[in-house]
Amino acid sequence: MIDKKMEAAINEQMNWELYSSYLYFSMAAYFDSINLKGCSSWMRVQAMEEQAHTKKFYDFLTSRGGRVVLSDIKAPPSEWETPLAAFENVLEHEQVVTGKINALLDLALEIRDHATGSFLKWFVDEQVEEEESADEVIQSLKLNQDNPGGLFMIDKELAARTFVPPAGVTL
Ligand code: FEO
């Protein structure tokens, strides 16, 4: 049986993952509203990844005899000043999520819950990738800030991203 403190912390993390998905769907809608379909598609894939993260926590908690309890998801923002501001928001948000994952791992170590610690390592690695991919887009957008042709090319490149569910996860 999983420790009650860890059960509560994982339920809280699931809320963060669901909020992340909600935030990225909202960003997809923002990009659709300014006709950047590739950026919108990138955000939709990002939103699906967050749902997959939620599912991973759900399955893990259930497999350890824990009880999944869902709570309110706060409304995300719906507008950003520029495409760059939206992607900067992605990076800031992912940095917050990285902090949450680290705090979960700290708790697992504190209560000597090695099974949860081992499970969380996948998320530690995932967060490195999440921050890196947002930063890559930010750098490209900064290089092309005054170049509408460059923005068009970036939008085309971002359209190529596809959703690959993590091993063992079906949505
Ligand atoms: Fe589930 Fe983007 O962290």
Report how far residue 159's alpha carbon sits from residue 127's, in angstroms, rounded to the nearest whole number. Answer: 22
Burial of 31 (0-12, 13-18, 19+ CB in 10 A): buried
How far, rounded to the nearest angstrom, does the alpha carbon of residue 91 sit from its chain's CA centroid? Answer: 10
Report how far residue 95's alpha carbon sits from residue 138's, in angstroms, rounded to the nearest whole number. Answer: 14
Fill in the amino acid letter for 111: I
Report how far residue 95's alpha carbon sits from residue 85's, in angstroms, rounded to the nearest whole number. Answer: 15
Q: Which atom of ligand 1 is nearest to the CA of 20?
A: 2
Percentage of residues of the chain with pLDDT beyond 70: 100
Ligand 1: does its nearest atom lie under 6 Å from the Cβ of 130? Answer: yes
Q: Other C-beta atoms within 10 Å of 144: how many?
A: 17
Which of 23-27, 50-54, 58-62, 144-148 comes out lowest in average pLDDT?
Answer: 144-148
Confidence category of residue 108, pLDDT binned at 50, 70, 90: very high
Distance of CA 98 from the midpoint of ligand 1 (Å): 8
- Show Cβ contacts of residue 132 under 8 Å, excluding neighbours closer than 6 positions: none
Average pLDDT over residues 53-81: 98
Confidence category of residue 171, pLDDT binned at 50, 70, 90: confident
Q: How high is the pLDDT of residue 148? A: 86
Distance of CA 128 from the midpoint of ligand 1 (Å): 10
Percentage of residues of the chain with pLDDT beyond 90: 94
Per residue in 75-104, pLDDT (tens digit) is 999 999 999 999 999 999 999 999 999 999
Architecture label for domain 4-158: Up-down Bundle (1.20)
Ligand 1: does its nearest atom lie under 6 Å from the Cβ of 50? Answer: yes
